Amino acid sequence: MDQSSIILYAIIILVLIGIPVILARKTGKKPMELLLGKRENRPFGSKKKNAEETAPRVKKQTNSNRNDFLDLLSKLTTYARRHHFHLIIPGTLSCGGTVAVLTALLITRSKVVGINCFGFGGRVIAKEGEEDWEQIMNGEETVVASPVKKNRAQEKIVRQVLEEVGFPGAQVEIVGVFTSPSVWLSNTAGTNCYRKDEALKYLNTEPFLMDAGLDPAKVDAALEPRIVRAPKGKKEDKQEEEKQEETKP
């Protein structure tokens, strides 16, 4: 081997070593990875997963659950206590042969507010007027009865009851609350329907906090005979009997 060949081989070796070193400094990879390529560390005999298997799983959308509902009631209770309002749970009022079925009745110093809860999850799309709404969840489309229509029906009954118990001029408002934390509402402007956090924020505005002369305690007492309570179970009946026995002389 002559001197020129030795020089040529030396240059080739320097190039093969030098270029990976320079690239390694710029890319952060090891020189051997650039020369030989990076191998996947897979157990012997295992197959390479395809794109579908390695793709992240999409979380399944669900409707509201009991905990979401109880969380709203807890926050409404705190809100009512803070402002010295009255909260009736459930807000179910009888009016002749009809019944107003509401989650709660909030009595402020300016109006009587009916809280009407809806447990739909996914995307809920409002329609014009009292047309049925649409729910899209996990790729499936479902028609749901218009919350606006339901709220208007409840408002009419509450107004009638208030008139019959001596408060004909009391302001009434029904607020629709979607309790699912993942629900997405579309086109709901002007419907008086909100996500849970939005509804609580709305209740903290001036129309609800102002003093218009309405007495929450008096309205509560007047509505008491019209409130429809859930029937007591045997355990509750027994506890009530024990209390009555304890109070006897």
Q: What is the pLDDT of residues 20-52, one digit of tens each?
A: 666 666 666 665 665 555 555 555 555 655 554
Q: What percent of the chain has pLDDT over 70?
A: 69
pLDDT band, very low/low/confident/very high, at 85 (cuts 50, 70, 90)? very high
Residue 216: per-residue pLDDT: 98
52 versus 86: which is more confidently predicted?
86
Residue 230: per-residue pLDDT: 73
Domains present along the chain, CATH in parentheses: 3-54 (no CATH), 66-228 (3.40.1350)
For the ranges 59-68, 102-111, 131-140, 149-158, the lowest mean pLDDT is seen at: 59-68
Give per-residue pLDDT as tens, 173-205. 999 999 999 999 999 999 999 999 999 999 999
Cα–Cα distance measured from residue 103 to residue 114, given in angstroms and rounded to the nearest whole number:
8
Cα–Cα distance measured from residue 226 to residue 101, given in angstroms and rounded to the nearest whole number:
12
Averaged confidence pLDDT in the chain: 84
Cα–Cα distance measured from residue 141 to residue 132, given in angstroms and rounded to the nearest whole number:
13
Residue with tokens 């506890």: 239
Estimate the crossing angle of helix 66-83 against helix 196-203, to 10 degrees: 10
Chain centroid to CA 58: how far?
A: 18
pTM of model > 0.85: no
